[in-house]
């Protein structure tokens, strides 16, 4: 389970290009390899995806193994994929979203429309998706979680991954602090496109044996270390977390201690899983190595 380079991406669901000066809400790409680490920021999802594709292609041209982590949910609670697509498989949801989501070069997108459309397919609702900016109205998309009966829809409120990492939010929540639902709706079409590239595997749906492995990550597994670094160096939390997580994963890969992070329960085959969900202490330990 060795990789020559590790990339960690902090995604964004911004509706416009983010500020050129206030980079707290930008997309951050952190990279670590034998030569050290570097971070880049992007104001739009289109620009970030273009760089990620370039990095993947460069790794393949150089014969390197590459691990790429994205900080949004790669799947939904069991049963959702089959209801939406007829197939109990997360990649079917990626493909469906790749056709439904419109997301232009300036970050303008239709994610709330798509969430409303999906909710309409669950007449037992409201839901499963919920939350949107105050003052807006989206048919069939509740503003609050209250009143949503997930059991009636045959779904869980959270994936097994969120149960294992309680700080992680459910992918059904689309807005407000800590939410990841909008990032997933806008990120999964990209995961679909990247999965079509040669020599690319998306774990845990594929075995992590390909030259390029894409995985879901949760940088807040290193929340304490991130806060210390951000405060010490005046970094945004997003930049600090992609720096530290890419460094920790690269060090574990180089010491042959990365394999346990790829252990996942059976539910992960449909729902996805957070890489290293049960190994936060090991990630933190790797940052202390010289």
220-242 confidence digits (pLDDT tens): 999 999 999 999 999 999 999 99
Mean pLDDT of 203-220: 98
Q: Name the band, by pLDDT with cuts 50, 70 and 90, for residue 125.
A: confident
Query: What pLDDT does 22 receive?
Result: 79
73 in Cβ contact with 272 (< 8 Å): yes
16-58 confidence digits (pLDDT tens): 999 988 777 899 999 999 999 999 999 999 999 999 999 999 9
Query: What pLDDT does 253 receive?
Result: 97
Query: What pLDDT does 281 receive?
Result: 97
Mean pLDDT of 3-21: 95
Query: What pLDDT does 24 receive?
Result: 76
Query: What pLDDT does 290 receive?
Result: 75
The pTM of the whole model exceeds 0.95: yes
Query: What pLDDT does 21 receive?
Result: 84
Which residues lie across from 39 on neighbouring strands? 30
Separation CA 134–CA 26 (nearest Å): 22
Which one, of 168, 194, 187, lies nearest residue 275 by Cα? 168
Residue 193 structure tokens: 């496109």
DSSP notation for 59-127: HHHTT--EEEEESS-S--STTHHHHHHSSS-HHHHHHHHHHH--B-TTS-B-HHHHHHHHHHT-TT-S-
141-183 confidence digits (pLDDT tens): 999 999 999 999 999 999 999 999 999 999 999 999 889 999 9
The structure tokens 């979203």 sit at 97
């Amino acid at each position: 389970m060795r990789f020559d380079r590790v990339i960690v991406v902090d995604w964004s669901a911004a509706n416009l290009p983010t500020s050129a000066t206030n980079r707290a809400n930008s997309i951050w790409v952190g990279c670590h390899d034998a030569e050290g680490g570097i971070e880049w920021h992007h104001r739009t999802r289109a620009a970030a995806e273009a760089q990620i594709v370039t990095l993947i292609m460069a790794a393949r041209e150089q014969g390197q193994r590459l691990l790429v982590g994205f900080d949004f949910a790669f799947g939904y609670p069991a049963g959702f994929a089959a209801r939406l697509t007829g197939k109990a498989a997360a990649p079917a949801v990626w493909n469906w979203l790749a056709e439904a989501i419109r997301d232009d070069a300036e970050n303008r997108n239709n994610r709330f429309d798509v969430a409303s459309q999906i909710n309409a397919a669950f007449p037992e609702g409201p839901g499963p998706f919920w939350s949107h900016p105050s003052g807006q109205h989206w048919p069939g998309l509740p503003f609050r979680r209250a009143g949503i009966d997930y059991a009636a829809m045959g779904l869980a409120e959270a994936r097994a991954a969120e149960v294992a990492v309680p700080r992680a939010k459910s992918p059904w929540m689309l807005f407000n602090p800590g939410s990841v639902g909008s990032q997933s709706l806008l990120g999964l079409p990209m995961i679909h496109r990247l999965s079509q590239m040669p020599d690319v595997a998306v774990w845990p749906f594929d075995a992590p044996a390909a030259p390029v492995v894409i995985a879901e990550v949760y940088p807040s597994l290193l929340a304490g270390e991130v806060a210390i670094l951000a405060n010490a160096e005046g970094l945004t939390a997003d930049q600090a977390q992609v720096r530290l997580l890419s460094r920790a994963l690269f060090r574990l890969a180089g010491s042959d201690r990365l394999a346990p992070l790829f252990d996942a329960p059976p539910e992960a085959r449909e729902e996805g899983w957070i890489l290293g969900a049960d190994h936060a202490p090991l990630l933190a330990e790797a940052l202390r190595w010289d």
